[in-house]
Amino acid sequence: MKDPYEILGVARTASAEDLQKAYRKLAKKLHPDLNPGNAEAEEKFKEIAGAYDLVGDAEKRKKFDNGEIDVAGVERPRQNYYRDYASSEQDHPYANNSGFTDFMDSEDGFAELLRRSARAQANRRGHDLEYRLPIEFIEAIAGANKRLTLPDGSTLDVAIPPGIIEGQVLRLRGKGAPGSGKGGFGDALIEVEIRPDPLFTRQGDDIYLELPVTLTEAVLGALIKVPTPTGAVTMAVPKGSNTGTMLRLKGKGAPKHVGGQGDQFVKLKVMLPKEPNPELEAFVSGWESGMTYKPREEWHHET
Amino acid sequence: MKLSKQEFLSLSGMGHDTLNTWIEEEWLVPSGTSLELSFTEVDIARARLVRDLQMDFGVNDEGVGVILNLVDQIYGMRRALMELRRTVRSTSERD
């Protein structure tokens, strides 16, 4: 921020009255509500208001002049100005047509245009209302019916289509704000927010799951019940599987836009018993190929 | 967003008596009944404008009424202009 005296265009020695005078002169030209056609007014007004907040107050001015406080941190925060509402198309109780009703009463083409505009304004469609709807990961894959409770206490039933993705927006026709006259209702726009799942992750139409298996299951193979977003299925883990082995459950992923389903990929993770196990230790000590297998053989580093 | 009188007072930082005066002067026109007034964000922004006029610009009560009336007419004309622009555009698109 620049020097507040410079912004207000006064000398550092200016009297309090001169400061106020300078501020009011600028503010009249720049107050956003009084200058709706001036797009830059808001930024400039913020600057002069911030400057005046600082040096227009005798105590703060003294501290500023002594270098005890600086210009940072005194800027007025962004606020909604009256013009933001008064200029919007939304109806508000202060709308006033008396500045041009006489134009509408005449019989020329311009009056006809104005009248048509007024009619259009009277029959404007309602606004779209935007909501956010958090859903569970599984609901995003399998679809769900959700009920959204609105701030005014009413409810909105939302059908989540299967396979929806994060940030997708659902449009409910006619569930937005009421319009004026014969304008009808706007739409409700619902942005879906998918909560992360502790088990599943998603990449495109495919779903990934890490499956812990016992040493016995990995070595000997097994039939294991595996969760999918649409319910558990039994999967054959082949004999001699390892940590990192990726198995595919065809068609158990998310529905694709073009039809069909993605897949679920199951990545195995071999888990030794949590506690040291004397039996396992005794077995492994006597297991010869356990000593000769070199899993780090392909590394080129010195280890 | 609908606000009760109490919510409006705390959000605008305004006193009870001041609010009554402003409503009497028709600077603010809340909806609802006199027993249960209802405010919106437009009223908050408008109250802030009145405060700016009084405190920052030193406008007296008579002046505030005159300014608000002119401001409302300007915004009314701006809306008509915007609507007119839309009508002209859609007409010329059709031609």
* The pLDDT of residue A76: 56
Span of A35-49, A158-172, A215-229, B78-92 with lowest mean pLDDT: B78-92
Partners of A92 on chain B (C-beta within 8 Å) are 40, 42
A78-115: string of b/e by CB count within 10 Å (b at 16+)?
A: eeebbbbbbbeeeebebebbebbeebbeeeeeeeebbe
User: What DSSP line would sit under A88-101, residue for residue?
Assistant: SSS--TT---TTTH
Partners of B1 on chain A (C-beta within 8 Å) are 151
Cα A27–B28–A89 angle (5° rounding)? 75
What is the average pLDDT across B39-57? 90
**Per-residue pLDDT reduced to its tens digit, A137-156:** 999 999 999 998 877 778 88
Is B76 in contact with A95 (Cβ distance < 8 A)?
A: yes
Give the nearest chain A residue to B79 (CA atoms): A87
Partners of B88 on chain A (C-beta within 8 Å) are 113
Is B52 in contact with A31 (Cβ distance < 8 A)?
A: yes
In three-state secondary structure terms, A56 is coil
**Per-residue pLDDT reduced to its tens digit, B54-73:** 988 889 999 999 999 999 99
pLDDT grade, residue B40 (50/70/90)? confident
Percent of chain A predicted with pLDDT > 70 = 93
**Residue type, position B25, single letter:** E
* The pLDDT of residue A220: 96
| Mean model confidence pLDDT for chain A | 87
Give the nearest chain A residue to B26 (CA atoms): A94
Partners of A28 on chain B (C-beta within 8 Å) are 57
**Per-residue pLDDT reduced to its tens digit, A184-229:** 888 889 999 999 999 999 999 999 999 999 999 999 999 999 999 9
User: What DSSP line would sit under A186-251, residue for residue?
Assistant: --EEEEEEEPP-SSEEEETTEEEEEEEEEHHHHHH-EEEEE--TT--EEEEEPTT--TT-EEEETT
Is B29 in contact with A114 (Cβ distance < 8 A)?
A: no
Residue A301 pLDDT > 80, yes or no? no
B87 closest CB neighbour out of A23, A94, A117:
A117
pLDDT grade, residue A278 (50/70/90)? very high
Is A36 in contact with B80 (Cβ distance < 8 A)?
A: no
Residue A62 pLDDT > 70, yes or no? yes
Query: Would you say A222 and A237 are in contact if contact means Cβ atoms under 8 Å apart?
Result: yes
ipTM: 0.86
**Per-residue pLDDT reduced to its tens digit, A63-109:** 888 888 776 655 555 567 888 888 776 667 788 877 888 887 878 87
Task: Estimate to the nearest angstrom the gap between the alpha carbon of B49 and the chain centroid.
Answer: 8
* The pLDDT of residue A224: 96
